[in-house]
Structure 1
């Protein structure tokens, strides 16, 4: 067991040494969160902890598309907000990077779903970031990202029969991230 722990610790140290410094970034993306369509904006802090970690704040406008067959609920708007920590295992090549992220989730649901003004939960995901090569070293970096993970809110939609978890489940996001 000690050998396994030492190998894991050595791998994490090697990957964090290999990581490049990452500046502040801004992103725009599209999401499918538990069958609900979303449009999101995010801000990511510069890297810290030996260029291994970043803080990410995200706000998303969601459309309740999971209940398309119910005319009273379909396409109701609500917002979700995330605050998380992402860690990267370094650069896989000069233009690609893999990362993991987890954090807190706040949902401001529509009144048709619940009496709660806000509902809270957690999320976790992994992502791939593909950097678009620039001819100029002074030009800002741009990347295309793909993320997959899960959301879990601690409350339900008690105004819908069966009180479903309307925002817990699989999430996929894609978009562009800009490093000014």
Structure 2
């Protein structure tokens, strides 16, 4: 993953310089309602989810985003076997646009609260709250659709207390990749 970041960032920067634009320029990118699908990784837990973005406000620099996710916690089932147990998470965040590169790439930061609904197979807690923060890149193919990459961190303090060793989960590195449709 580190290698992907090291390759992707310079390419975006060079692309912006080569086209005579910089991140501070304010070119018009569609800032309406958005609906997306994403694959995600929370620490070691794989998941998938949907996200909903409000229209941008405050000079099209701020928006709200809601996510609903289904994740799978890998843990020991018995001495010789591991299993994946599903659980849910939801989040509400505020994102701020850091800038645009041309008319096709939007850079942003996002932070907010997250709520986990753990499975009773690995946790005695019914609800766990935490926070997250990330940096994101939206790559617009046209005015209505984009692919996105988001990398950040999540902290919940959640532990799988019904599993040997009480391992933590949903803490640490956070990655989202997906597709978003922005309504006209």
Q: TM-score range by the shorter chain?
A: 0.7 to 0.9
The reply on whether 1:104 has 2:107 as its aligned counterpart is no
CA–CA distance in structure 2, aligned partners of residues 157 and 19 of structure 1: 47
Once the two structures are superposed, residues 118-140 of structure 1 have per-residue CA deviations (whole angstroms, 9 ceiling, x without a partner) of 1010001101100003xxxxxx6
Name the counterpart of 2:96: 87
The reply on whether 1:25 has 2:34 as its aligned counterpart is yes
TM value normalised by structure 1: 0.81
Of 154, 162, 167 in structure 1, the residue corresponding to residue 165 of structure 2 is: 162
Name the counterpart of 1:62: 71
SS in 1 for 2:83: coil
SS in 2 for 1:51: coil
TM value normalised by structure 2: 0.79
The reply on whether 1:128 has 2:137 as its aligned counterpart is yes
SS in 2 for 1:172: strand
Name the counterpart of 2:17: none
Of 161, 165, 177 in structure 2, the residue corresponding to residue 174 of structure 1 is: 177
The count of aligned residue pairs is 158
CA–CA distance in structure 2, aligned partners of residues 148 and 111 of structure 1: 29
Of 52, 59, 76 in structure 2, the residue corresponding to residue 50 of structure 1 is: 59
CA–CA distance in structure 1, aligned partners of residues 44 and 150 of structure 2: 15
Q: What root-mean-square deviation, in Å, do the aligned CA atoms of Structure 1 and Structure 2 show?
A: 2.0
The reply on whether 1:152 has 2:160 as its aligned counterpart is no
Residue ranges of structure 2 left out of the alignment (5+ in a row):
1-22
Of 98, 109, 126 in structure 2, the residue corresponding to residue 117 of structure 1 is: 126
Once the two structures are superposed, residues 43-96 of structure 1 have per-residue CA deviations (whole angstroms, 9 ceiling, x without a partner) of 00000112111000000010113x3x6467621110010000011122111100
State whether residues 19 and 51 of structure 1, in contact with CA within 8 Å, keep that contact through their aligned partners in structure 2. Answer: no
CA–CA distance in structure 2, aligned partners of residues 40 and 123 of structure 1: 16
CA–CA distance in structure 2, aligned partners of residues 154 and 33 of structure 1: 13
CA–CA distance in structure 1, aligned partners of residues 82 and 136 of structure 2: 31
